[in-house]
Amino acid sequence: MTIKKRLFISNILMILAPVAITLLIGLACIGSIWFIVTHESVFGFEDSEDFYQVSQQLALLVEHRLLEATEDQGEKLKDLGKLLENQSISLVVQSNDEDIYAYGNRSVHDPTLIDAVSEMKGEGLVRNQGRVLYMKPIEIDGDTFRILISGNQTEISYDSLTVVLAFTAIVLIFTIFLAILLTNRFLVKFVFQRIEEPLLILSNGVHQIMDGNLGHRIEYSQVDEFAPVCSDFNEMAVRLKQSVVLSQKQDQSRKELLAGISHDLRTPLTTIRAYVEGLQDGIPKTPEAKDAYLQTIRMKTEEITQMVSMLFVFSKMELGEYEGHPELLQLDDEIIQLVLAIAQEYKEKGLVILTDQLLSAKVFADPDQLRRVLMNIFENSLKYKEKAKGTLVISLTKKGNKYLLSLCDDGPGVPVESLPHLFEAFYRSDPARQNSFEGSGLGLAIAAKIIGQMQGEILARNVETGGLEIMVLLPEVEG
């Protein structure tokens, strides 16, 4: 049950429960007062005059019944009991001083009252200590009958009734207060329990995260307002853990980047320094020797310049500040134009670039960045070739809803354990990183970031015939 529903029920019960309890207690008090008035007072008339009038009417009724009776007068009077029910009146009919009919409860005062009436010629009404008696003699067919009607006067006074009512009012007030207190206590527990429990769960979860337990997850099965909060907490914990892992990974990458830069810059700088010192010491004696020294210094300087340039591009991409200019490209045409432009130059360096099959393909990409990716792959194939004339074959096919650009050379390939790391910055299959002349180690890392910006994917695998295949998957553009 949701907290909203619990609050609604709580508000309703906060009104209905005290009212219902108060009504029940009030009805009980009213019933008690009614019972006292109707039973403890016994006789409901306030004065003797009322009793006298009722008694006369009842005596006439008895006389009429006796006149109608031909045999057993007592049987004829039995149905009078129904008329006297709940009237708090006792009736006695005597014949020759013997009871032929009696109804109701007699009092110890009745004999005294009968004697008093008898002295008043046998008929009349007397009262003593709250007891009232009416007696009337009648004669039927020579038989004398006495009708005795008795009862109690009202015993509850105004003051007594006031006390009873005051006590009832106090009971009702106390009942209302107690009902509100108990209802409030129950409803607070009814509502707050469902709020306290999830709050404690959330608090414990927060402390777990604060203590570094990023794997902690909240288990909450209730379907209420706290369910989405607990779900969001778990999602936050997942993202926080991912953020920490990413931060640690980036920190490690920065350390590796600094180590790689330091190593890769040290080698050409050491060479430049050695050749400059050689020139200063006059080691090269001939102009040709001096020119060779200067050419080496120039070549190492260009290596450093290229390395710094690639490092600048990589850093910009890491920070997300390297802006591209994607456009709709005819990928097969771009490949053909690039190969025509650089094929002869690479052939002279020892790498033959061929195109196998190029499917017509339209992609959304930055042409300059796409050329940078291809050139980086060309440079790697050139640097790592083992034959005097290496070969690189380019093909473009369709794979699902993507285009597959394959660049496969006939070089030595790479160790299987190195394949997952080829696109990491400054990674070389040589752990000692002794072969700095083989490149900066940033080419394939930059290529991977560029392809990622194009919503594509870049992979590497060793081919069975020898060599390394770089596969670039780019999404198809419809239309």
The pLDDT tens digits for 332-367 are 999 999 999 999 999 998 999 999 889 988 998 888
Higher confidence at residue 148 or residue 83?
Answer: 148
Neighbours of 11 (CB within 10 A): 12
Question: How far from 441 is each of 62, 110, 421, 435, 460, CA to CA, in Å?
Answer: 133, 130, 11, 11, 15
User: Would the pLDDT of 311 be above 50?
Assistant: yes
Q: Which pLDDT band holds residue 479 (cuts at 50, 70, 90)? A: low
> Two tokens at 301?
């300087």
User: Would the pLDDT of 382 be above 80?
Assistant: yes
In sequence order, which residues have a C-beta less than 8 Å from that of residue 41 and are 6 or more positions away? 88, 152, 154, 155, 156
Block residue for tokens 């004398």 = 144
User: Would the pLDDT of 41 be above 50?
Assistant: no
Alpha-helical segments (H) within 211-329:
226-281, 287-319
Block residue for tokens 């009038």 = 53
User: Would the pLDDT of 211 be above 80?
Assistant: yes
Return the half-sphere exposure (C-beta side, CA atoms, 13 A cut-off) of residue 36.
Answer: 15
User: Would the pLDDT of 40 be above 50?
Assistant: no
pLDDT at 42: 41
Higher confidence at residue 186 or residue 469?
Answer: 469
| Average pLDDT for the chain | 79
269-295 pLDDT tens trace: 888 999 898 888 888 888 888 899 899
151-182 pLDDT tens trace: 776 555 556 667 777 887 888 788 888 877 87
Minimum mean pLDDT range among 235-239, 316-320, 369-373, 387-391: 316-320
Average pLDDT over residues 54-73: 78
Q: For residues 59 and 94, give the distance between their C-alpha atoms in angstroms, rounded to a whole number.
A: 12
pLDDT at 426: 63
- Highest-confidence range of 39-48, 150-159, 208-217, by mean pLDDT? 208-217
Q: For residues 366 and 371, give the distance between their C-alpha atoms in angstroms, rounded to a whole number.
A: 9
Minimum mean pLDDT range among 182-191, 401-410, 416-425, 434-443: 434-443
Q: Which pLDDT band holds residue 43 (cuts at 50, 70, 90)? A: very low
User: Would the pLDDT of 393 be above 90?
Assistant: yes
pLDDT at 87: 59
β-strands 390-399, 457-462 pairing: unpaired
3-state helix, strand, coil in the chain (%, to 5): 60, 20, 25
130-152 pLDDT tens trace: 778 888 888 887 778 888 888 77
Confidence (pTM): 0.47
Question: How far from 353 is each of 122, 125, 349, CA to CA, in Å?
Answer: 153, 145, 11
β-strands 362-365, 327-330 pairing: antiparallel
Selection from 79, 82, 77 nearest residue 92 by Cα? 77
Selection from 350, 346, 397, 399 nearest residue 374 by Cα? 346
Minimum mean pLDDT range among 31-40, 54-63, 100-109, 442-451: 31-40
β-strands 351-358, 390-399 pairing: parallel
* DSSP state for residue 368 in the 8-state scheme: H
User: Would the pLDDT of 33 be above 80?
Assistant: no
Q: Which pLDDT band holds residue 47 (cuts at 50, 70, 90)? A: low
Average pLDDT over residues 469-473: 92
In sequence order, which residues have a C-beta less than 8 Å from that of residue 430 and are 6 or more positions away? 438
